[in-house]
Structures are given as C-alpha cells and as structure tokens.
Structure 1
Amino acid sequence: MDLLSWIIGPQLIGIIFTLAGYIQKRFPPKKINALYGYRMPSSMKNQETWDEANHYAARFMMRSGFMLLLVGIVTTAVLCAVNLEHETFMFVNSILLIPSAIGFCVALIVSTEKHLSRKFDNKP
C-alpha cells in the first residue's frame, strides 16, 4: 500500500484532534471570543467557565486524538493484511473516517458540557 493509504482513515482525524488539542493547550484563548476556542453558550458565560472549558477540551482532544490515531493505524494494518483491492481499501477507510470524525466531535461536546455542569452548576 502507498503512503496515502496510511494517512486517509481514522488516523487522520486522530492527527487533527491531537494537533488541535496541542495548539489549544499551548496557545489557549485568553478572553471570550467568537473565533477561537471551545465556543458553546455554557463556556461563554464568564471568564472562569471559558478558561475551564478550553483547558478541558484541549486535554480531551489530545487524549482522544492519540487514541484514534492508534485505532486508525491498527485498522489500516488489519485492512492491509486482508489484502483488499486499493479502491475497496480506500472506500472502507473513508467510510470509517466520517463516523469517527463526527463521533469524536460529539464526544468532545458531550464530555466538556458534562464537565462544566459538574464543576459549575453546583455553585451558588
């Protein structure tokens, strides 16, 4: 298989999530804004929720991105071992790419919202 076969697939989303999480951790958004950071109504209530949401989301993206990268590499190795035709291989990898991207984005939002709820909804 060629290099593209090892890039396209769930591991691509893993790389993107890991890099995005690293960038957000290294260069966190300082103030509430509409362009950069974890922008949901619950995170934009005040500076404290903004900082916590962005810190948590960055860590979540890095952890889940690394996990998805590993899963993608294993999946690609298994598909290579099965010896599929190139077109079939790329089709299966692409089919895995879309749900993994959507699933991890949904998981990021759900997990961060639950974290914010646990941390801030119990405060007076």
Structure 2
Amino acid sequence: MFFVNWIIGPQLLAIIFLIAGYIQKLYPPKKINALYGYRTDSSMKNQQTWDEGNRYSTALMIKYAWVMLLGGFALTVLLMQFHMEENAFVLTKVGLMLFGAGFITVNLFRLTERHLKNLPSNKN
C-alpha cells in the first residue's frame, strides 16, 4: 500500500497531463481538425489561431502538470502526518485529484481563450 500512497492522488493526474502535454508538444496537430488538439471555436477560426492555441495550451498544461506533481507529493507527505485511516486517506487524495483536474481544465481554457482573444489578428 505504501507505493499506492505515492501514486494515487494529484500526482497520478499530473503524470497523465505531462504525458499528454509532451506528446502534443512533440507531435502538434498540423491542420485544424475535430479529433486532436486544442479545439474551441476561437482556436479553429483560422490556421494562425489554431497553431497558437495549441502551442499556448500545451505549454500551460505542462506547467500546471509539474506544479500538480510536486504539490501532490507535498500533499502526500502532509497527509501522512495525520495518520488517517487508509480509506479516508485514499478518499482525500482522490478528492484532491478531482479538484486539481477541474482547476487545471478551467484555467487552461480560460487563459488560452484570453490569450487567443488578445492576438493581433483577433483585435478589431
């Protein structure tokens, strides 16, 4: 169970976000499509916003994932100090993981959309 304590929680989600972010960084979507990449109305407006939206959102995803990974390990150490029952410990970490997922997702979209709105090609 010791190993599971270090994997289950925000750090598991961070590893998933890191893998996804680095895959998208290494293999960015070349053309606007409905399957792969940062897909919103504003990013799919033209090729310039598509490229910039994918570049910017990927960089943010990687940054947030590193913060979440380090934060997840720190939270694990902190929670271990409380000597919680095993089920409460896992439930707390899963709750933190879900909160982290929501936080990353909402902020990733919010900041990327703001960035795309402020591009010179989108200014009126």
**Please, what is the CA RMSD of the aligned residues?**
1.1
- Residues 1:99 and 2:107 are matched in the alignment: no
Amino acid at match of 2:122: D
Unaligned runs of 5+ in 2: none
Per the alignment, residue 55 of structure 1 pairs with 55
Q: Measure, in 1, the Cα distance between the counterparts of 2:45 and 2:122.
A: 12
Unaligned runs of 5+ in 1: none
Identity among equivalent positions (%) equals 46
After superposition, residues 15-34 of structure 1 pair within 5 angstroms as 15-34=15-34
Q: Measure, in 1, the Cα distance between the counterparts of 2:55 and 2:97.
A: 26
Q: Measure, in 1, the Cα distance between the counterparts of 2:17 and 2:61.
A: 5
* Aligned structure 1 segments of 4 or more residues deviating by more than 3 angstroms: none
TM-score (norm 1): 0.94
Q: Measure, in 2, the Cα distance between the counterparts of 1:103 and 1:85.
A: 27
Q: Measure, in 2, the Cα distance between the counterparts of 1:51 and 1:4.
A: 38
Per the alignment, residue 122 of structure 2 pairs with 121
The number of residues matched between the two structures is 123
User: CA offset at residue 94 of structure 1?
Assistant: 1.0
